[in-house]
Amino acid sequence: MIGLAALTAALAAPAIAEDTQPQLTYKGMQSRLAACAPCHGKNGGGDMGEGGGVYPRLAGQPTGYLYKQLLRFKSARRTGIPPVDIMHRLLVNLPASYLQLIAEFYHEASPPFPPAPPRDAERWQRGRDLVLHGVAGEGIAACTSCHGAELEGQPPSVPVLAGQYARYLTIQFEHWKQGARENAVHEHIVQTLTMRDIEAMSHYLASLRPAGSEGDAE
């Protein structure tokens, strides 16, 4: 296991002022962000290893969404999977201009998706109904109303849900249910959902792939 000090050193930005844009090529960023691969996979492809889907796929997410989340981790307004402070400790000393480059790199990255997980027919259908149609009588809109007809995200700041890891999604639903993440809309939605609903939605979303992105994991 790579130590936190080594990860921090690998990720560290060049010595630059906050208002100076670092001159790093795509390949340079690819090399520097290898420090993120132990959790987020090669080029942001996601947690395809021992974590079992705990850490999300970053590749292809809207730049604005990624940048906003990096800022939240930097300021400790958002915490991650235990150890909960690791993202804050990695990012706290990095300038905003460098975080913008990180966001742009992962937005442009396009590693293949892993094979879709096996479907549980009943759970998949339940998840599909909730994701595509919302909760009748509860004023809960379908996920597609914000995240796009194919759950492909909406730039600049609404993330891609199609193909995200089920375990990661379930954990995020739980965080909103507990008030551990900032999003009033999501906090309202999850209060109406049971764990069965949450797991079904996560299962369905994990089975999807954005158009043109089929492929096996590297």
Tens-of-pLDDT digits for all 218 residues of the chain?
Answer: 456 777 777 787 664 445 555 567 777 888 889 889 988 988 999 875 555 789 999 999 999 999 999 999 999 988 876 655 789 989 999 999 999 999 999 999 999 998 888 999 999 999 999 999 998 777 788 999 999 999 999 999 999 999 999 999 999 999 998 888 888 778 788 888 999 999 999 999 999 998 777 544 33
Question: Which residues does 136 contact at the CB level (< 8 Å), separation at least 6?
Answer: none
Question: Which residues does 78 contact at the CB level (< 8 Å), separation at least 6?
Answer: 69, 72, 87, 181, 182
Residue among 49, 65, 43 at smallest CA distance from 167 = 49
d(CA 15, CA 53): 34
Q: What is the pTM of this model?
A: 0.87
Would you tell me how many other CB atoms lie within 10 Å of the CB of residue 38? 15
d(CA 76, CA 91): 10
Distance, CA of 110 to chain centre: 14
Q: Are 209 and 112 in contact (CB under 8 A)?
A: no
